[in-house]
Amino acid sequence: MARQALVILIVVAAFGVLVPLYKGFGFLDSRIIAAYACLALLFVAPASAELAAAHGTSGSSETAILGRIAVIVAWGWGVTVLILATAIVTLNLVARGGGWLAPPWGFLTSVLTFSLSASIAIAILGAVLARRFSAAGVKSILRIGFLVILLAMIFGSRAFPERVQLEIADQFNTRRALTHLAWESSIVSAVVAALLLIPLLRNARKTEPQAS
């Protein structure tokens, strides 16, 4: 517990204090704020594997499963909001200018909503995978998945002609485009979470009579 608290403190200090000190006003770049919101996925993914393995999902009731998912999401997303809030406060403490510096509320709400819905989907996915694989196996699967997505985002556009690449870059470099993308991705994540929840709760109903 103490080690986990120390890790969180280091992460908050690094991303909540050092990065805004280094970036200055550039920290308010919409792409940086969106990346910060996605930090929740990196917290939720390993936590879902560890918590599922620690409590033994094979005989868990529906209430226990949903409770664990809620704990995982609240922890991962809460830490992310804490980091982002700390970074904004740090930026305002060191900036010399009038007024409060912060991302537009509409954009901030959209990326945090996506972060929350995607975290729920990842937590449910971790619980589903934990029924078939070990905690280490689930972590490996999720890490590979994140790596594939990252590589696709970085190198995938190179498969298109240069004109198309420039159009894609121009479209997603604006705050408005990222806001729309975040809302659309939130809906997709919510649908994925609902679909993953069906087999998870179905398995819980099958195993509950056996456990009793």
Q: Rounded CA gap, 211 and 26, in Å?
A: 55
User: Please, what sign has the CA dihedral across residues 20, 25, 27, 28?
Assistant: positive
User: At residue 203, what is the residue type?
Assistant: N
What type of residue is 14? A
pLDDT tens figures, 43-87: 887 777 666 555 544 455 667 778 888 988 999 999 999 999 999
Length of the chain: 212
**What are the tokens at 138?**
């689930």
Place of tokens 């403190």: 9
40 and 121 Cβ atoms separated by less than 8 Å: no
| Predicted local confidence at residue 51, as pLDDT | 61
**DSSP, residue by residue, 147-188:** HHHHHHHHHGGGGS-HHHHHHHHHHTTSHHHHHHHHHHHHHH
Q: In the chain, how many domains are there?
A: 1
Q: What is the pLDDT of residues 132-147, one digit of tens each?
A: 777 677 777 777 877 6
Query: Residue 144 has what pLDDT?
Result: 80
122 Cβ neighbours under 8 A, 6+ residues apart:
41, 44, 45, 48, 142
Q: Are 19 and 63 in contact (CB under 8 A)?
A: no
Q: Which domain holds residue 106?
A: 2-211
Q: Is 203 helix (H, G, I), strand (E, B) or coil?
A: helix
Measured distance CA(201)–CA(193) in Å, rounded: 12
The answer, yes or no, to whether residue 26 has pLDDT greater than 70, is yes
Q: Alpha-carbon distance 64 to 72, whole Å? A: 12
Distances (CA, A) of 63 to 66, 67, 84, 117, 190: 5, 6, 31, 20, 20
Residue 2 has pLDDT above 80, yes or no: no
Q: Is the pLDDT of residue 187 over 80?
A: yes
Q: What is the mean pLDDT of residues 142-159?
A: 66
